[in-house]
Amino acid sequence: MRKSLQLQAEMAQEFGACVFDVTLDCEDGAPVGGEAEHAALVAELALGAAPGARVAVRIHPADHPAFAADVETVVGRAGQRLCHVMLPKAESVQDVEQAARALDAAGAPRLPLHALVESPAALHRAFDIAAHPRIQSLSFGLMDFVSAHGGAIAAEAMGVQGQFTHPLVVRAKLEIATACHAHGKVPSHCVVTEIKDAAAFRAAAQRAAREFGYTRMWSIHPDQVRIVLEAFAPQQQDIERAAQIVVAAARADWAPIAFDGKLEDRASYRYHWQLLERAHQTGRALPGEVRHWFQPPHH
Domain ranges of the chain: 1-232, 236-293
SS3 at position 157: helix
Entry pTM: 0.87
Residues 179, 138 contacting (CB under 8 angstroms): yes
Give the CATH number of domain 1-232; options: 3.30.365.10, 3.20.20.60, 3.10.450.50, 3.30.70.1170.
3.20.20.60
In angstroms, what CA-CA distances link 244 with 157, 170, 223, 266, 292? 43, 36, 34, 14, 14
State the binding site for Mg(2+): 118, 144
| Residue 227 neighbours by CB distance under 10 Å | 21
- pLDDT of the chain along its 299 residues, tens only? 999 999 999 999 898 888 899 999 999 888 888 999 999 999 999 999 988 899 999 999 999 999 999 999 999 999 999 999 999 999 999 999 999 999 999 999 999 999 999 999 999 999 999 999 999 999 999 999 999 999 999 999 999 999 999 999 999 999 999 999 999 999 999 999 888 899 999 999 999 999 999 999 999 999 999 999 999 988 899 999 999 999 999 999 999 999 999 999 999 999 999 999 988 887 788 999 999 998 766 54
SS3 at position 254: coil
Run of H or E including 114: strand 113-117
pLDDT value, residue 226:
93
Q: Give me the residues paired with residue 55 across strands.
A: 22, 82
Q: HEC states along 8-36? A: HHHHHHHHCCCCCCEEEECCCCCCCCCHH
* Residue 41 half-sphere exposure toward CB, CA atoms < 13 A: 13
Backbone angles phi, psi at 191, to 5 degrees: -70, 155
State the binding site: 58, 118, 144
State the binding site for substrate: 58, 118
